[in-house]
Amino acid sequence: MKNNLAIKLYKIEKYFFNFIMKHKLFLFLLPVIFILIFLLSIPYYNFFYNKVSSFEDSTKSLTNFDLEEIEKINNIFGQIDDSKITDSNLKSVFSDLKKSFNREEERLVFENKKIEEENLKKLEFEKQEKQRLEAENKKREEEFEKSIIYPKEFDITNKLAKLHIQERNLSCEAAATTDILSTILKTDIKESDILDKMLKDKTYGKASYYTDDGKLIWGDPDNGFVGEMDGFQFKLTGYAIYEKPMSEIYKHYDVNFATYNKFENDLGIKDTKEALSYLLKELVKGNYVQMRGDYCTDQNFEDGNIDRKISTQEALSGMIQKNYCYSFNQERRITWYTEEGKKIEAAKQSHNFVLLGYIGDVENPEKIIIWDTQTGKHIYPTAEWMRKWELNDARAIIVYDKKQEKLENKEEEKNTETIETNVENKEENNKDENTDKIIIENKAKRNEEEVKVEDEKN
């Protein structure tokens, strides 16, 4: 058994010996071939690795300098005459350093340009989104407008939490504002609180006066209250405050508003008849309006029945004081100048009212219902009310209900969120495209540099 195993092992050894002797040249060359392949692969590996690493690092920052600092450094490099560098190693290092900083400047220029382009695209997209949302909102408003049924008669008297007769001679603006704010804020606002917060012109508490050449000098109601609060308009000792400075009160209470007059307004409406219809519609929508006009009433349309001053209780019980003026048939307008020379043309007896409603078609009403803060509730033919209103340049303040203001703010926030979301989605979609663009451009730059290096070597 052992002899057979020994014989087999002998035969195997003999076979391998014969094979090696027969192919000894090939076996000798095989390790040499492997060594040569390895040596030949080193340059290729280095070249490939450098290409890939350079390609990957080409978009990475080499320094923390900004573009302005890099430009200064490159300007300094540009002023150095490298032909005066005699040491070849130093010259090579300087050349590489110069190329690196040039490359860094190119990178920063490219990145800044890319950021600028992205910002411009973002702004343009936000603008388009805003326009689209505004168009959608306008369409919704138009649809909502069509859905509203405007009654043939509308009166908000019972809706108002407070209606009162003004407490001082010329505090009509404060009285109207007090009643509207008390309703919106659901709390009792005092007229004195409004008077304290009201803007005052520098002529507040002062009567008008004439210059030696006969020019009447007084204040500007577009700045604040002019004259004495307990003065008299026909004596030119006290006057009024117009809608713009008066609306600052609503801003103080965080209540939204819009102002109107026939010269300039927030509504974009020039025609006063159209504006009146707009104001009446605002009442139906749940908002409030205070208006300015002539205190005096044409006696042909006087609906008052009391010749004396009435109290709040009397006015609320249905008593109406007459708005009689002995000077009605005289000139109803007056002109004066501020000390700075501004010309003021105004109604002689300017007054503030709360708009309560209308009778008839809202587009062409027959009568207008108002609360006169001095004489109570009146119902005037539209023609007479338009005369009173237009005499003082058709001035008004639309005061938006607090609830509606909150809804408008929520809608604005929703629109802003929509724009931001759409911008983010677009930026995400463009991210891959921008990355590919950067890689391609950097690869092209790298190839150009390699060609230049090869040309220099040749």
Clarify whether residues 315 and 442 are in a common domain. Answer: no
User: Which range is least confidently modeled, 84-93, 180-189, 238-247, 299-308?
Assistant: 84-93
Q: Model confidence at 3, in pLDDT bands (50, 70, 90)?
A: low
Tell me if 438 is assigned to some domain: yes
Clarify whether residues 358 and 450 are in a common domain. Answer: no
Q: Which of 115-129, 154-168, 264-278, 425-439 has the highest mean pLDDT?
A: 154-168
Mean pLDDT, residues 186-190 taken together = 96
Q: What confidence tens digit (pLDDT) does each residue in 297-330 have?
A: 999 999 999 999 999 999 999 999 999 898 898 9
Mean pLDDT, residues 229-245 taken together = 97
- CATH number of the domain that 222 lies in? 3.90.70.10
Tell me if 57 is assigned to some domain: no
What is the average pLDDT score of the chain?
84
**pLDDT score for 185:** 96
Q: Model confidence at 107, in pLDDT bands (50, 70, 90)?
A: confident
**pLDDT score for 91:** 81
Q: What confidence tens digit (pLDDT) does each residue in 43-101 have?
A: 544 444 444 444 344 445 667 888 888 888 888 878 888 888 888 888 888 888 888 88
**pLDDT score for 54:** 45
Tell me if 63 is assigned to some domain: no
Among residues 400, 428, 443, which one ends one of the domains? 400
Clarify whether residues 363 and 216 are in a common domain. Answer: yes
The total number of structural domains that make up the chain: 3
Report which of 209, 238, 197, 196 is spatially closest to residue 221, judged by C-alpha positions: 238
Tell me if 62 is assigned to some domain: no
**pLDDT score for 100:** 85
Clarify whether residues 302 and 348 are in a common domain. Answer: yes
User: Which range is least confidently modeled, 89-98, 263-272, 284-293?
Assistant: 89-98
**pLDDT score for 105:** 86
**Sequence-ordered alpha helix ranges (H) in 202-242:** none
Tokens matching residue 427: 């930026």
Tell me if 59 is assigned to some domain: no
Question: In whole angstroms, how far apart are CA 112 and each of 47, 63, 66, 242, 323?
Answer: 31, 15, 10, 51, 71
Q: Model confidence at 104, in pLDDT bands (50, 70, 90)?
A: confident
Supply the range of the domain harboring residue 386: 153-400
**pLDDT score for 235:** 96
Q: Please calculate the CA angle 232-238-243 and round it to the nearest 5 degrees.
A: 120
Residue 392 has pLDDT above 80, yes or no: yes
Higher pLDDT, 49 or 171: 171
Q: Global pTM?
A: 0.64
Tell me if 434 is assigned to some domain: yes
Clarify whether residues 394 and 417 are in a common domain. Answer: no
User: Which range is least confidently modeled, 58-67, 104-113, 254-263?
Assistant: 58-67
Clarify whether residues 105 and 242 are in a common domain. Answer: no
Clarify whether residues 31 and 176 are in a common domain. Answer: no
Clarify whether residues 214 and 345 are in a common domain. Answer: yes
Report which of 85, 67, 399, 81 is spatially closest to residue 252, judged by C-alpha positions: 399
Among residues 351, 376, 400, which one ends one of the domains? 400
Clarify whether residues 259 and 358 are in a common domain. Answer: yes
**pLDDT score for 227:** 98
Clarify whether residues 172 and 310 are in a common domain. Answer: yes
Higher pLDDT, 264 or 419: 264
Tell me if 405 is assigned to some domain: no
Clarify whether residues 130 and 166 are in a common domain. Answer: no
Tell me if 58 is assigned to some domain: no
Q: Give Cβ neighbours of residue 176 (< 8 Å, ≥ 6 apart).
A: 290, 352, 353, 354, 371, 373
Clarify whether residues 354 and 373 are in a common domain. Answer: yes
